[in-house]
Amino acid sequence: MKNFFSAFVGIILLLGGYLLGASWKSETETKPQPKAEKVAKAHTEDEKLVDPALQTTAAADFELKPNEKATIGLFQEAAPSVVFINTSTFQKDYFTMDIAEIPKGSGSGFFWDDQGHIVTNYHVIENADKATITLADQSTWDAKLVGVAKDKDLAVLKIDAPAKMLSPLPVGKSDNLLVGQTVLAIGNPFGLDQTLTTGVISALGREVSGAGGFPIRDAIQTDAAINPGNSGGPLLNSSGELIGVNTAIYSPSGAYAGIGFSIPVDAVRWIIPELIKFGKIKRPTLGVEIARAGILERINKRGVLIVRVLPDGPAFQAGLRSTLRDQQGNFILGDIILAINDKQIDNSNELSEALEMHRMGEEVKITLDRHDKIVETTLVLGQAR
């Protein structure tokens, strides 16, 4: 009986312990945890401190603005057209008679057509014996010189690469440019290839000194960063069209100072085909020899005095008159050129500029001062030798 009572008490205690434990577990699961509640509350308070605009940016994927997308697309489209030019010279060792290739310089250029012709500055390849071209895919090609226009600071090279690797730029215009419009320059400043800089047209109609001191007229001034190595690279408008060839910078230190210059594409457009076809510029001519500067100033006249009309030339065919001497040795002034196609001519430089606007075989109107009478006639321009 005693043993039965002890067993009964043990069962009662075991059952009580089980019920007590189940009750405590249920209470724990249903009652909110203070620590978790505190953490959740703190998180909510932190979110209130965050700028809603930043929350939106963090929540959504970052998107480029339309103008950024346009610039990126333009660069991706134009970059394969721009090349990196390295030049070198050959030097003979007078002791071993070996020929050494000496690096000379570098610059930029771009494809003009799908025949492999590359436009660059004359000063990039000046006095070089060899030029190599590195394309956007990093392949390197030997180039041959096709033609140069030293006084225009332009040159044409050519590589024999597969047509699929040749990507000419679309050619725009420069006579309708406006100060303030967006421009982009692509080149290889300091040897860093495929570099894009952006800016605006700062001024138009500038005159800068080109290779050999020859003036480059009607240059485009831009604040797009142009540094050594950018020379020969393209200046593009916001449509990706070529509007200039980067040629010079204005800088006391030799590096970018906010002022760069480009040869206008309207000049490039007629020069490059002539360099490709003839290797040089075939300049139109009137077929005359003109007096040196200052002669007419002494007699208070303006214009350009014809000293001699060349036999069988355009001026001869048109009846223009040379300067002569009478029997007493007095000068009889020849025709004085006052204008070509109504463009006023005051000196020999202006005469050259006016002729460059026309091509050989083109008919032009000449306005003359013939013994104090205004005479107009026409002639067909010939080809300068």
Catalytic residue among 123, 193, 202, 335: 123
Lowest average pLDDT, out of 9-13, 70-74, 262-266, goes to 9-13
pLDDT value at residue 28: 47
Q: Is 123 a catalytic residue?
A: yes
Residue 195 has pLDDT above 80, yes or no: yes
Does 256 score more than 80 pLDDT? no
Q: What is the mean pLDDT of residues 305-312?
A: 92
C-alpha to C-alpha distance for 125 and 85, rounded to whole angstroms = 9
Domains in the chain with CATH codes: 77-165 (2.40.10.10), 182-278 (2.40.10.10), 284-383 (2.30.42.10)
Contact 363, 377 (CB under 8 A): no
74-79-82-86 Cα dihedral, nearest 10 degrees: 150
Residue 252 scores a pLDDT above 60: no
Whether 197 shows a pLDDT value over 70: the answer reads yes
pLDDT value at 346 more than 70: yes
Catalytic: 153?
yes
The amino acid present at 361, given as its one-letter code, is G
Q: H helices within the chain, ranges in order?
A: 2-30, 34-49, 52-59, 66-78, 122-125, 265-278, 314-318, 348-356
Q: Is the pLDDT of residue 35 over 90?
A: no
Looking at the predicted structure, is the pLDDT value of residue 192 above 50?
A: yes
Catalytic residue among 231, 322, 335, 369: 231
- Rounded to two decimals, the pTM is 0.69
In sequence order, the β-bridge partners of residue 195 are: 187
SS (H, E, C) 135-198: CCCCCEEEEEEEEEEHHHCEEEEECCCCHHHCCCCCECCCCCCCCCCEEEEEECHHHCCCEEEE
pLDDT, one tens digit per residue, over 354-366 is: 888 888 889 999 9
Q: Residue 92: which pLDDT band, with cuts at 50, 70 and 90?
A: confident
208 CB-side CA count, 13 A: 24
Using pLDDT thresholds of 50, 70 and 90, give the confidence band for residue 193: confident
Question: What's the pLDDT at 170?
Answer: 95
